[in-house]
Amino acid sequence: MSDTTFDDLRDLYQEVILDHGRRPRHAGRLAAFDATAKGDNPLCGDRVQVFVKYAPDGSIAETSFDARGCAISVASADLMAEVVAGRTKADTAALFAAFRELARTGACPDCAASLQPALERLAPLAGVHEYPSRVKCATLPWHALSAALEGRGEASSEGGAS
């Protein structure tokens, strides 16, 4: 695009976000799933439902989502589905904690080395840290996923939690 109006927004809306926001690979309900939970941000009306299928060893085999939300939240849900496949619940929880740090501060210098490949994949979302009101867009799918993994039906990213 030759238009330079939004050049300084390319840090937030990187091509990978626009691409996954527009054409998510993991959208839709899984034909068979073991757990599901909804995430809801009542302040802005964003909603996401995450579906989880477990492998025989209890790790995550596959996830998918239904989302009504902005490009950031859809892209985040899609990238999340990509990076959590094959992970244990504990590993996923650790990755969520690391991703929250990334979304809030733009970096996670103290994060475990084992998480770095996944965090690199999620790095395009780090730009939200400059937009405090948008951090919740990126973390909402993760809240829904952890609710599903913990057997809670609903998660909310309202208020101070992000």
Partner 1 sequence: MNVTTRPEIVPAVPPATLDIARIREDFPILRQTVRGKPLVFLDSAASAQKPRVVIDAMRDAMEHQYANVHRGLHWMSERTTDAYEAARDAVAALLNAPDRNEIVITRNITESLNLMAHSYGRGVLRGDQAVLISAMEHHSNIVPWQLLRADRGIELRVAPITDAGELDMDAFEALLADGKVGLVSITHMSNVLGTYTPAQRIVQIAHAHGAKVLFDGAQATVHRRVDVQALGCDFYAFTGHKLYGPTGIGVLWGRRELLEAMPPFLGGGEMISSVTYARSTWAQVPHKFEAGTPPILEGIGLKAAIDYVQSIGYDAIAAHEAALTDHALARLGALEGVNILGRAQDRGGVVSFTVDRAHAHDVATLLDRQGIAVRAGHHCAEPLMHRFGLESTARASFALYTTREEIDFLADTLARVREFFT
Binding residues for partner 1 restricted to 85-124, rule: CB under 8 A: none
Residue 161 burial by Cβ neighbours in a 10 Å radius (0-12, 13-18, 19+) = exposed
Considering the complex, what minimum distance in angstroms separates the CB of residue 21 from partner 1? 8
Minimum distance, C-beta of residue 6 to partner 1, in the bound complex (Å): 6
DSSP 27: B
Q: Which stretch, 56-64, 68-76, 98-106, 108-116, contacts partner 1 (CB under 8 A)?
A: 68-76
Q: CA 99 to CA 80: how far, in whole Å? A: 10
Cα gap 77→2, rounded to integer Å:
30
With binding defined as CB under 8 A, does residue 13 bind partner 1? yes
| Residues forming a β-bridge with 60 | 54
**Residue 12 binds partner 1 (CB under 8 A):** yes
- Residues lying near partner 1 in the complex (CB under 8 A) are found at 1, 3, 5-6, 8-9, 12-13, 18, 22, 43-47, 68-72, 131, 134, 137
